[in-house]
Amino acid sequence: MSFIGNLLIIQNDLRETQGVLSALLALLIFVTINLWLHGLIVGMAAGVLPGIATALLIFVLMRCRLPVPAEH
């Protein structure tokens, strides 16, 4: 009888351990997705912002240079 009791206790422990492991796995997946999304957003900003800044700079320089009257 104690052998069956021990088996039931072990099975119960395994169930709890499995619950903890699945919770840890869910947390790990959540953190990974969050970090990936954060990295994606930061990466997009890092990739897009210099391009926008360069385009604006070129646009401003072109606008400043164009209205200068030609010397006679």
pLDDT tens-place string over residues 8-64: 777 777 777 888 888 888 889 998 888 888 888 888 888 888 888 888 888 888 877
pLDDT for 69 equals 60
> Predicted confidence band at 67 (pLDDT cuts at 50, 70, 90)?
low
Listed in sequence order, the residues at least 6 apart from 50 whose beta carbon sits closer than 8 Å to its beta carbon are: none
Q: Which stretch of 1-5, 10-14, 63-67 has the lowest confidence by average pLDDT?
A: 63-67
Three-point CA angle 67, 69, 72, nearest 5°: 165
Reduced DSSP (H G I as helix, E B as strand, rest coil) percent helix, strand, coil of the chain, to 5 = 90, 0, 10
CA distance 66 to 2: 94
pLDDT for 1 equals 56
CA distance 33 to 42: 14
